[in-house]
A = this chain, B = another copy of it.
Amino acid sequence: MLLEAASHRRPHHAAKNVTPEITLSSVFSDRPTESFGAGAGLVWEGDPATHVFEVVEGVLRIFRIIGDGRRAITGFLYPGDILGVSMRDRYLYSAEAVNAVRVRRFSAASFQQAINLSPELRPQFFAKLCDEMAGAQEQMVMLSRKNAEERICTFLLRLAERKAGDRADNQDVDVPMTRLDMADYLGLTIETVSRTITSLIGRGVISQRGRHDMRINKYSMLARLAGDGDCMGANGSGEPYARQAVWPA
């Protein structure tokens, strides 16, 4: 989100000698957008990593399949996120469109070069990787130590905080993914997801207008049920971690 903000600010009429603000997004800005329908696959686990994608609109799911068909969704990508940031020469995971998606495509080789040649882009790229890593940590903690209700609450909370950093009550949350997606992301079954959501609605913590349109009625209770139990915030200071990467140019 740091990125979109920056790219939006970038004036289209920038004078020739004024170096425009360079962001990761700007690398993609002159590429055409491609559209994918819900369920369409963009990349497949194990395929040669030939391209990098920037999500312009819609949501992607990132997942791996093991043995007998069990699927684990390791993350979702939203507008501004980049698909293919962390990879070797092959994709580590598959990516599919959750809903209608628009992306900009870039060749992996060119993208690498752009990153490596620009001392401005590099720290942003590092920051992306670190963000991804931080998210993965968060996810591992949740999967190894939280129960069903805590997982659902954590998920809804993160969805809500994605668009608005403020913690206003009565916040509407758009949930584009299906129950199956949620289940495979949270390490649960669709039945458990459904039951837990029903229970939360029953207690008035949330309510739902449509299948994919929820509303948070009791934000603080939802946060409490999420179980992160910020006993000391692990931070000590109460301050959120700095948004700036520690690896400057």
Contacts and interface: CB of A to CB of B under 8 A. Distances in A.
Interface of A: 45-47, 49, 64-68, 70-72, 74, 86-90, 92-93, 108, 112, 115-116, 119, 122, 126-127, 129-130, 132-134, 136-137, 139-141, 143-146, 184-187, 227-231, 233-237, 241-249
Contacts of A230: 67
A116 B122 contact: yes
Contact of A229 (B66, B72, B247): B66
Given A72-B140, A140-B74, A235 B90 contact: yes
A64 B144 CA distance: 11
Contacts of A144: 72, 143, 184-187
A240 B23 CA distance: 34
A67 B229 contact: yes
B66 A227 contact: yes
Contacts of A74: 137, 140-141
Residue of A68, A144, A235, A246 ringed by the most chain B CB atoms within 10 A: A144
9 contacts: A46-B233, A67-B227, A67-B229, A68-B229, A88-B134, A112-B247, A115-B247, A136-B140, A140-B143
A233 B149 CA distance: 33
A108 B247 CA distance: 9
A19 B245 CA distance: 31
Contacts of A65: 234
A88 to B, nearest CB: 5
Contact of A234 (B46, B130, B237, B249): B46
A47 B141 CA distance: 19
Contacts of A141: 64, 66, 72, 74
A141 to B, nearest CB: 4
A137 B88 contact: no
